[in-house]
Structures are given as structure tokens and as C-alpha cells.
């Protein structure tokens, strides 16, 4: 049984820098994934009317994220 644990990031009045270096759209076209020069990965919701809103930001890489790929289940 797989357990889903959502990542949560909390910051002050301004979000951290996110200079996009890689981008991927999921197969269902509801989520955009971006990698940054600062080493973060961000998930963005993409609505049917093409509005984008932030979903999650993942920290932990010590170098730039220059490539994104999806994995098989």
C-alpha cells in the first residue's frame, strides 16, 4: 500500500527565487513541473482556462535542476 505524503513549504512574505531551467507537463495536462537554477522543483496547477497557480515547491537539490523526466509506476 502506497502512502501519499504531500510536501509543504512555508516562507515569509516573498517566495524564494525560482529561475526556471527545466519544464515538463504531465500526461493529463493538469500539472506543470519546473526545475530551477537554485535547485528547487515546483509543481503548478494548470486549469482548463490555462490559468497557472502554485501547488508545491520541493527543496533538497544542491545543484541546478537541468532536466526533468517522468517515471513509470
pLDDT value, residue 1: 57
pLDDT score at 11: 61
| pLDDT one-digit tens code per residue, 28-39 | 889 999 999 889
Residues of the chain with pLDDT > 90, as a percent, come to 26
Pairwise CA distance, residues 64 & 73, whole Å: 26
What are φ and ψ of residue 13, in 5° steps? -70, -20
CA distance 37 to 45: 21
Amino acid at each position: 500500500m502506497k502512502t501519499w505524503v504531500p510536501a509543504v513549504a512555508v516562507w515569509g512574505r516573498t517566495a524564494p527565487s525560482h529561475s526556471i531551467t527545466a519544464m515538463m507537463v504531465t500526461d493529463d495536462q493538469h500539472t506543470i513541473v519546473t526545475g530551477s537554477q537554485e535547485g528547487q522543483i515546483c509543481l503548478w496547477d494548470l486549469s482548463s482556462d490555462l490559468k497557472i497557480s502554485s501547488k508545491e515547491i520541493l527543496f533538497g537539490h544542491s545543484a541546478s535542476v537541468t532536466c526533468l523526466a517522468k517515471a513509470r509506476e
